[in-house]
Amino acid sequence: METSTIRSKLYIFIVVYLGVQAALIAPQAFAASVSSREYQVKAAFLYNFIQFTEWPAAKTADNNNTISIGVIGDDPFGAAFDPVKEKTVKNKKMVIKRFGRFTELIKGANEDKSKPAENTEALRKCHVLFVCDSEKENLSKIIEIVKDSGVLTVGQSENFLDAGGIIRFIKEAEKVAFEVNLIAAKEAGVQVSSQVLRLAKRVITDETADDKNK
């Protein structure tokens, strides 16, 4: 067979191949309810954080033998937690609670902290609370509600640790990394393992905070 004929057939093959693949696969992909790789990695980080965090005894005894991860704000995780939906961690079943936006959550509720509304009480019951970027404006209010209730707060907004959050995700090149505010962890009554602190890009302690204030 002539070389040019073979080439022509090859080009037709490549074009048809690309076209068919795009036609077959693309619609399925857009229909699929899965999350971006970044949030799959972050979900795996949260799963790991649970294994390396100790909560107050009262918190552990509570909650119907479950460990709950709360997500407040516009949920970017999608189906990222699906692979561990029914699994146990620390011998407890893992539960994901999605609260939606904070403004919706507190709508109609009594904002008096001494009488927390039922909805905001649900935030305090979480073991881990991920605060989405959509809640930047309400960050300090959310932290204020949960700060003394043994909740490991995790977020990624610029001022998350300054506002009293405990772990903040950062992105370095194509990698996900994190920083830890140990002062906030102590206030919340949660104990973050040294295995987490060892890998943190920055750890805020009493000493580092003092240095910053000097």
Beta strands in 141-199 (DSSP E): 152-155, 167-172, 175-181, 191-192
Place of tokens 């404006």: 137
Decide: is 64 part of the binding site for other proteins (CB under 8 A).
Answer: no
Q: How far apart are CA 196 and CA 175, in angstroms?
A: 16
Q: Find the binder of other proteins among 44, 117, 183, 203 (CB under 8 A).
A: 44
Q: How far apart are CA 105 and CA 138, in angstroms?
A: 12
Q: Find the binder of other proteins among 137, 171, 187, 207 (CB under 8 A).
A: 171
In the shown chain, the binding pattern of residues 80 to 99 toward other proteins, with x for contact by CB under 8 A and - for none, equals x-xxx---------------
For residue 61, what is the enclosing H or E element? helix 57-61
Binders in 175-204 for other proteins, by CB under 8 A = 175-177, 195-196, 199
**Residue range at the interface with other proteins (CB under 8 A); choices 10-18, 105-113, 114-122, 142-150:** 10-18
Q: Are 112 and 70 in contact (CB under 8 A)?
A: no
Closest CA to 33 of 96, 72, 80: 80
Which residues contact other proteins (rule: CB under 8 A)? 1, 3, 6-7, 10-11, 13-15, 17-18, 21-22, 25-26, 28-30, 32-38, 40-41, 43-45, 47-48, 52, 76, 78, 80, 82-84, 133-134, 158, 170-177, 195-196, 199
